[in-house]
Amino acid sequence: MNCTNDIKESNIVFDVIKKRRSVRRFDRRPIPKEIMEHILEGARWAPSGANVQPWRFIVVEKREMLEALGNICYYRIFKSRHVNEAGAAVVICADIEAGSATYMLDCAIAGTNMTLMATSLGIGSCWIGAFEEPTVRGMLKIPQKLKIIALIAFGFEVGKASAPPRLPLSKIVHHDTYAGEPDLLSRIVKSGPFSVFGKLLRVLFNKR
Ligand SMILES: Cc1cc2nc3c(=O)[nH]c(=O)nc-3n(C[C@H](O)[C@H](O)[C@H](O)COP(=O)(O)O)c2cc1C
């Protein structure tokens, strides 16, 4: 039995993690209330430093507000229509007076829980970190004691977003101590035409 392959093939958490994509085309349908509640429950059960739970969520569902928000949200440097077309957007804020040293991390984890919960329920999502902060603050009447961390657009996907590539584990994981970046030669040997030869050498010398 190949344990690693069995886990990869049958693990529902891994399935949802891999299935989640940043979706940038939605069909404007509203998110059913019970689904939105489930997504928010996912956030509520996120871990947080010292269990302070500094997150506050503003759920925007009114069509005209989503349109207005969409006009001040971006994909890279470009205006993007995904918030305009979303069924809802959740603005994640942190109460900086709640006494949390880790509010950024806490809110990021809560957001991740929401996107994974959404995926598991057939709802697409997209993090938005590029937005006009003062305009969002004014539009949603957000007080200064709340730091706006990010928005997440949710909706029913149109088409199917493709998966951008990920770095291989060999490039991002270090065992026990940081081993530095692989030098140019070993990068060529690992990924270029010499990779088979390189693999053989690694097996012979018992290297990862
Ligand atoms: C913190 C954060 C901020 C992001 N900001 C934006 C954004 O402003 N606009 C956007 O369209 N996508 C945004 N994204 C989505 C990324 O572009 C996306 O996650 C990345 O390209 C990988 O694609 P995937 O989510 O489909 O795996 C953001 C993602 C994260 C985690």
Does 80 contact ligand 1 (Cβ within 6 A)? yes
Return the CATH number of the domain spanning residue range 3-155. 3.40.109.10
Query: Which atom of ligand 1 is the closest one to the Cα of 82?
Result: 11
Whether pLDDT at 109 is above 80: yes
Could you tell me the distance, in angstroms and rounded to a whole number, from the CA of residue 143 to the centre of ligand 1? Answer: 26
Radius of gyration from C-alpha coordinates of the chain? 21
Q: pLDDT tens digits for 152-180?
A: 999 999 999 999 999 999 999 999 999 98
Q: pLDDT tens digits for 65-90?
A: 999 999 999 888 888 789 999 999 99
Mean pLDDT computed over 134-141 = 97
What span, in angstroms and rounded, lies between the C-alpha atoms of 40 and 61?
A: 14
Handedness of CA 180, 185, 191, 196 (dihedral sign): negative
Does 130 contact ligand 1 (Cβ within 6 A)? yes
Could you tell me the distance, in angstroms and rounded to a whole number, from the CA of residue 75 to the centre of ligand 1? Answer: 8
Confirm whether pTM is higher than 0.75: yes
Q: Which residues contact 203 (CB under 8 A, 6 or more apart)?
A: none
Extents of the domains making up the chain: 3-155, 169-204
The string of DSSP letters for 56-74 reads EEEEE--HHHHHHHHTTBE
Query: Which atom of ligand 1 is the closest one to the Cα of 108?
Result: 1
Task: Copy the structure tokens of residue 121.
Answer: 């329920």
